[in-house]
């Protein structure tokens, strides 16, 4: 039975739903396929959105017109701001969400989107006319015609779940896995590798002794993820903190021969920055304890997520080590932890638009590209969806440079440097992180989203209002002055100074907290909260931001210099052999991307620039 669409998205996880939503909003008749309707945007691991650097990604997705932030706000049950100990650049919003509600809201959003069809079916192969996509084949024999395909299969390709010596050939949480697509991708010449991730046990809430744990309440007064969210997300479900101990570690170390990670049962490479508890205990033998966060999975369940105890140890060992943890001595396990192995692509086979090199109309997004995390997946899905739509329209792809966004850093790292383990976004990966803050994600990206056609009129009007308010506030900060006695009366303490009055700008540069600056702004309630935050940060770090801006301009000049897709690097005289081979492998889209390839130095870039200028003349 033949069906006709403009685009097909394979997989309805966090990457797939963003890709499908973008394609449809950009006017493309799209089919979103999923192995199970219950797996749409399913949170197989931790029940939260955002966190360190990941909160930046969610704000950027929202700024461009994506859907993750809006749905997360509607499903939130607790919010906190992480990294308070660092500067504003690394502050990261994190929301504990109701995982079942998040899934239901996203599923309903996909089902109600005009022009988008959702089908529970397995795609087994991709059809081509030469090197151009012409459709897909499903397990039941259907041929679906489409000129663009986004592969967003997550961790489902030839997946297997392992707990001790027990193994199941399934996707996460027991969902059906993809059996044939991986092999057919190999037949197309794609480089497939094997990665691994995992999840901890879940336990029954009433079996936990919370009095022995540290309460982790939510924070009030925090912004939402969505720029257009017009309600205050729920913030009434507490989390708890406890720790492993010497007895926990002893049980793990004495049973390593039964641990699949250490007895050879698992060959896939796991994530360095979110390791299993057995890996943490082995790697950090001198550490007396490790943090364990006990988090609610949602309001419609009594299951609690035991963050920090990700494991694939046998069932009996999981019971033993869990019961050594303070507050969990009598905890009843409802779901055991497991490791999951899966096939994924070498991301170097992608260009910076997330198109698979050598094929027209074929894109890839999410954990199949070697990344980890819901937020990293959603960010890639959004960009892949945008570029698939632009390909269908015959338009130039959208490529976000590193200096524009964390999304740009994420994609550039994957396609330029590749990864030998599941890639996780961190603030330290962004060299311009003072500029790439959460509070200014809309200022950096919403205009682009509006030009593309994803960010609507309301979002754009709100951006213009915020920019205007920031300009007004910065001017006000320079003009408005307060006497020392007035400041003391308002509870604002100053360090020793002989001055008798200060401008608000001076107070900001002296380190006065934003909540105190708000007291000094006449009619502060008339300004958007994030406009005040951004204006304060801009004044506080003006000198550093100016230095960063000059560095960004230098990088932008290289990023603006495009390299022809059909360039013959063997024709470029003066390139070192290593550089020539690396450039052939990565085939960078710009000189900026070429400059970040390991093995390509500044002299090679100069040679390449001279060659390109000569060819242009």
Which tens digit of pLDDT belongs to each residue from 311-359? Answer: 999 999 999 999 999 999 999 999 999 999 999 999 999 999 999 999 9
Provide the edge-to-edge strand list for the sheet that holds 202-204. Answer: 214-216, 239-243, 291-296, 303-307, 202-204, 333-335
Q: At 560, is the pLDDT very low, low, confident or very high (cuts 50, 70, 90)?
A: confident
From CA 57, how far away is CA 79, in angstroms rounded?
A: 16
Q: At 496, is the pLDDT very low, low, confident or very high (cuts 50, 70, 90)?
A: low
Average per-residue pLDDT in the chain? 94
- List the single range of 208-222, 358-372, 448-462, 493-507 with lowest mean pLDDT: 493-507
H helix count then E strand count, the chain: 20, 24
Whole-angstrom CA distances from 392 to 133, 148, 377 are 11, 7, 22
Token digits of residue 569:
């690097």
Q: What pLDDT is recorded for position 225?
A: 97
- The domains located in the chain, with CATH, are 2-74+105-197+343-452 (3.50.50.60), 202-341 (2.40.30.260), 457-548 (1.10.10.1800), 561-616 (1.10.150.570)
Token digits of residue 17:
């739903």
Q: In DSSP terms, which residues pair with 19 in a beta bridge?
A: none
Which among 63, 87, 56 has a CA at the least distance from the CA of 536? Answer: 87
Is residue 386 scored above 80 in pLDDT?
yes
The SS3 call for residue 461 is helix
Whole-angstrom CA distances from 538 to 66, 342, 473, 474 are 26, 44, 11, 8
Which among 199, 11, 214 has a CA at the least distance from the CA of 121? Answer: 11
Segment 566-580, tens digit of pLDDT: 899 998 888 888 999
For residue 428, the 8-state DSSP code is: G
From CA 323, how far away is CA 590, in angstroms rounded?
A: 55
Q: What is the dihedral of CA 551, 554, 560, 561, to 10 degrees?
A: -140
- Percent pLDDT > 90 in the chain is 83
Whole-angstrom CA distances from 316 to 258, 274, 438 are 11, 23, 43
Is residue 151 scored above 90 in pLDDT?
yes
Phi, psi of 454 (to 5 degrees): -95, -45
Segment 63-105, tens digit of pLDDT: 999 999 999 999 999 999 999 888 888 999 999 999 999 999 9
Are 307 and 46 within 8 A, CB to CB?
yes
Helical pair 68-75 and 99-111, crossing angle rounded to 10 deg: 130
Token digits of residue 403:
């200096």
Locate all alpha helices (DSSP H) within 393-493, ordered by sequence. 406-412, 441-452, 457-479, 484-489
Q: What is the mean pLDDT of residues 273-302?
A: 94
Contacts of 428 (CB under 8 A, 6+ apart): none
Q: How many residues does the chain have?
A: 617
Q: In DSSP terms, which residues pair with 356 in a beta bridge?
A: 350
For residue 416, the 8-state DSSP code is: I
Token digits of residue 206:
């009433």
Q: At 264, is the pLDDT very low, low, confident or very high (cuts 50, 70, 90)?
A: confident
Q: At 2, is the pLDDT very low, low, confident or very high (cuts 50, 70, 90)?
A: confident
From CA 370, how far away is CA 197, in angstroms rounded?
A: 11
Q: At 522, is the pLDDT very low, low, confident or very high (cuts 50, 70, 90)?
A: very high
Q: At 615, is the pLDDT very low, low, confident or very high (cuts 50, 70, 90)?
A: confident
Helix (H) / strand (E) containing 151: strand 148-151
């Amino acid at each position: 039975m033949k069906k006709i669409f403009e685009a097909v998205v394979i997989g309805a996880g966090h990457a797939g739903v963003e890709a499908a939503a973008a394609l449809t909003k950009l006017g493309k008749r799209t089919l979103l396929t999923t192995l199970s309707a219950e797996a749409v945007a399913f949170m197989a691991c931790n029940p939260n959105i955002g966190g360190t650097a990941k909160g930046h990604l969610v704000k950027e997705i929202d700024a461009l017109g994506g859907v993750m932030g809006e749905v997360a706000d509607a499903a939130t049950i607790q919010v906190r701001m992480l990294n308070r100990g660092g500067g504003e650049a690394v502050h990261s919003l994190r929301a504990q969400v109701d995982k079942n509600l998040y899934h239901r809201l996203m599923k309903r959003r996909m089902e109600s989107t005009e022009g988008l069809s959702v089908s529970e079916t397995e795609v087994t192969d991709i059809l081509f006319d030469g090197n151009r996509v012409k459709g897909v084949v499903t397990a039941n024999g259907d041929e679906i015609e489409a000129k663009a395909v986004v592969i967003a299969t997550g961790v489902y390709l030839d997946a297997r779940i392992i707990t001790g010596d027990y193994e199941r050939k399934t996707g996460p949480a027991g969902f059906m896995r993809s059996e044939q697509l991986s092999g057919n991708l190999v037949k197309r010449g794609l480089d497939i590798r094997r990665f691994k991730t995992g999840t901890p046990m879940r336990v029954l809430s009433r079996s936990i002794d919370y009095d022995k744990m540290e309460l982790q309440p939510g924070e009030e007064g925090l912004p939402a993820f969505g720029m257009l969210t017009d309600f205050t997300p729920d913030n009434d479900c507490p989390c708890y903190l406890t720790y492993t101990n010497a007895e926990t570690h002893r049980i793990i170390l004495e049973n390593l021969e039964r641990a699949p990670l250490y007895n050879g049962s698992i060959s896939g490479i796991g994530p360095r920055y979110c390791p299993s508890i057995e890996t943490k205990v082995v790697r950090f033998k001198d550490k007396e304890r490790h943090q364990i966060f006990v988090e609610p999975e949602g309001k419609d369940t009594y299951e609690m997520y035991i963050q920090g105890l990700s494991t694939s140890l046998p069932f009996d060992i999981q019971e033993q080590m869990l019961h050594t943890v303070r507050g969990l001595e009598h905890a009843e396990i409802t779901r055991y932890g497991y490791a999951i192995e899966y096939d994924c692509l070498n991301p170097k086979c992608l260009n910076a638009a997330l198109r698979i090199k050598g094929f027209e109309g074929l894109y890839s997004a999410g954990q199949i590209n070697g990344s980890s995390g819901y937020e990293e997946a959603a960010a890639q899905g959004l960009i892949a969806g945008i570029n698939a739509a632009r390909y269908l329209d015959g338009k130039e792809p959208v490529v976000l440079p590193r200096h524009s966004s964390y999304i740009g850093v994420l994609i550039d790292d994957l396609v330029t440097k590749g990864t030998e383990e599941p890639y996780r976004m961190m603030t330290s990966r962004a060299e311009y992180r003072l500029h790439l803050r959460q509070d200014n994600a809309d200022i950096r990206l919403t205009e682009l989203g509006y030009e593309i056609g994803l960010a609507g009129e309301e979002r754009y009007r709100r951006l213009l209002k915020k920019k205007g308010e920031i300009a007004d506030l910065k001017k006000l900060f320079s003009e408005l002055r307060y006497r020392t006695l007035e400041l003391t009366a308002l509870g604002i303490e100053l360090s020793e100074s002989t001055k008798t009055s200060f401008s608000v700008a001076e107070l900001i540069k002296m380190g006065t907290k934003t909540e105190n600056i708000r007291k000094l702004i006449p009619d502060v309630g008339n300004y958007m909260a994030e406009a005040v935050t951004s204006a304060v940060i801009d004044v506080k770090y003006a000198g550093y931001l100016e230095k960063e801006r000059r560095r960004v301009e230098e990088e932008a000049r290289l990023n603006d210099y495009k390299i022809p897709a059909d360039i013959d690097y063997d024709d470029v005289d003066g390139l070192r052999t290593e550089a020539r081979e690396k450039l052939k492998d990565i085939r960078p889209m710009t000189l900026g991307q070429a400059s970040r390839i390991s093995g390509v130095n500044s002299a090679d870039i100069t040679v390449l620039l001279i060659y390109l200028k000569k060819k242009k003349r």
